[in-house]
Structure 1
Amino acid sequence: MVLVVTSAAFAQDARLRRLETMNEGRVWEAVGRLDIGGTGFCTGALISPKLVLTAAHCLFDKASGVRLDHEKIEFRAGWRNGRASATREVRRAVVHPQYDYSSDLTPDRVRNDLALLELRWPIRNGVIRPFATGASPTKGDNVGVVSYAKDRSEAPSLQEVCTVLARQEGVLVTTCTVDFGSSGAPIFAFEDGQVHIVSVVSAKAEAEGQPVSLGTSLSTQLRDLEEEMEAGAGFLPTTGQTRPRVLVGEPRRDTGAKFVRP
């Protein structure tokens, strides 16, 4: 994956806007913070009253590479300044079958970095409306992202306009601003007044010295996860996975980008 990024690609980007109040964030209440057993957090979004879409690597321990106990994960929809519009425990979780946490951070890994969480109880409160999913955008399209991150963990932030730089090998490369904690954040497309999730944040990277974000493919990968759920999967494996030592930020093979898990 070799990218040529120019400053013009970032010219139309909107700045991150912190959604401080419920009125500001009303449309985005189905985006929430995933609290990972008190050890960290990711971002996730409802795609049905009972299903949350996020990044697969959020379900693995960073130090050991072992799959985490998903029953210790809480989804806090619309989390803002110490309060959530709804909080639910996770009943089960499926990771894409081709995702390998132990592998290097390559396009193949990013493409499959997707997980689906089933909540113990559905969220149906009339305020939180799950998002539909849509087809991946193409190069030059505008998208947006809503996420939490390390320096903005107490309220979501919206970047309403960023740009798709490329769609290569099933990986969406955008100018969207992400950081640690943004993993699993929904990337949105806006069409005819409707908002659709078209990708999920997997990693941040550099291309030609410029920061970019990398998102997963949804089409086939999401169908795979839904089939896993329908087949009754989603319980913890009997053995954990481990990973080799990785120097975060080092170049990966011949991708032309530096990958960092946010």
Structure 2
Amino acid sequence: MLRALLFAVFSALVASPLAAQSSSLKRLDTGDDSRGWEAVGRLNIDGKGFCTGALIAPNLVLTAAHCLYSSQTKKRIDHAQIEFLAGWRNGRASAYRMVKRAVVHPDYDYSSKATAERVRNDVALLELHHPIRNTTIIPFATDERPAKGDEIGVVSYALDRSEAPSLQEVCGVLARQQGVLVTSCTVDFGSSGAPIFSFRDGTPRIVSVVSAKAEVEGLPVSLGTQLETPLALLRAELAAGGGVFQDKGPRMNRITVGQTRDTGAKFIKN
């Protein structure tokens, strides 16, 4: 259960120097600031909300699975109503693309309780109608999961910074348990689906996707998904012709404020 996972890392959150040394968010307002991060974009979802996504190929965007569900209808959103705005910054994007197909992890079920299984499988892959071929928008490579104690970073949009992405270049892996990456990275509403990066050899590579934020005894953590195995499954499903829109019914149960149940944590709707 996620309660056990978060309880296990509580002492690390209190004592870990990584949590204390995490850098603050830097808003990427200018062209110079955002150079190299243009492949991170905002996903506008059915005109009612947004998430964060990142290109991992000219026609593929990685994000969180729960971004494809409606909190009002509790049904899958028609991905034809989702637009990817690469490098969205202060009213303009480097490229605009609609989504052609979308697949979510086959074991993902948002109607389940807030367990580690749900978080680690909270991954989706979106195929764009037309590839983005722009010399300033370079898709990110992916990499294996980082270990506890490794430094990572995150680029994300959020409710109070929806018009430009923000970079937190240094945050840390507090734990890696049951397939969930527990980090000290700062996330908020809209950060769902944001890429979590390692910087091995100085090159940013995506190692996880932001699924949710949580609190343990008032201390904030962010939760990241698995990536290597889920991504291979999603690529295979697209290659097999999957991802055509079909409403799968009420598999949605967004994380809401104060829902402790048997998780022992306060989860925050993302």
TM-score, L = length of structure 1: 0.96
Match of 1:163 in 2: 172
Deviation at 1:22, TM superposition (A): 1.3
Match of 1:191 in 2: 200
Deviation at 1:236, TM superposition (A): 1.4
Match of 1:64 in 2: 73
The unaligned stretches of length 5 or more in structure 2 are none
1:65 touches 1:102 (CA, 8 Å); kept in 2?
Answer: no
User: Following the alignment from structure 2 to structure 1, what is the Cα–Cα distance between the partners of residues 253 and 219?
Assistant: 28
Sort the Cα spacing of 1:165 and 1:65 in 2 relative to 1 into closer, same or farther, 3 A: same
**Identical-pair percentage:** 64
Aligned residue identity for 1:54: T
Sort the Cα spacing of 1:238 and 1:179 in 2 relative to 1 into closer, same or farther, 3 A: closer
**Structure that is richer in helix per residue:** 2
**Pairing 1:29-178 to 2, within 5 Å after superposition:** 29-178=38-187
User: Among residues 199, 205, 209, which one is paired with 2:214 in the alignment?
Assistant: 205
Match of 1:6 in 2: 14
Deviation at 1:243, TM superposition (A): 4.5
User: Following the alignment from structure 1 to structure 2, what is the Cα–Cα distance between the partners of residues 261 and 181?
Assistant: 10
2:109 touches 2:252 (CA, 8 Å); kept in 1?
Answer: no
User: Following the alignment from structure 1 to structure 2, what is the Cα–Cα distance between the partners of residues 17 and 152?
Assistant: 11
2:103 touches 2:234 (CA, 8 Å); kept in 1?
Answer: yes
Aligned residue identity for 1:137: P
Equivalent residue of 2:35, what SS?
A: helix
Equivalent residue of 1:63, what SS?
A: coil
User: Following the alignment from structure 1 to structure 2, what is the Cα–Cα distance between the partners of residues 225 and 244?
Assistant: 22
Match of 2:265 in 1: 257
User: Among residues 215, 219, 224, which one is paired with 2:224 in the alignment?
Assistant: 215
User: Following the alignment from structure 2 to structure 1, what is the Cα–Cα distance between the partners of residues 62 and 96?
Assistant: 15
User: Following the alignment from structure 2 to structure 1, what is the Cα–Cα distance between the partners of residues 83 and 111?
Assistant: 25
Aligned residue identity for 1:26: R
Q: Flag as ranges the 4+ runs of structure 1 deviating above 6 A.
A: none
User: Following the alignment from structure 2 to structure 1, what is the Cα–Cα distance between the partners of residues 60 and 192?
Assistant: 17
User: Following the alignment from structure 1 to structure 2, what is the Cα–Cα distance between the partners of residues 21 and 252?
Assistant: 43
Moved more, 238-247 or 28-37: 238-247
User: Following the alignment from structure 2 to structure 1, what is the Cα–Cα distance between the partners of residues 24 and 255?
Assistant: 32
Sort the Cα spacing of 1:242 and 1:53 in 2 relative to 1 into closer, same or farther, 3 A: closer
RMSD of aligned alpha carbons: 1.5
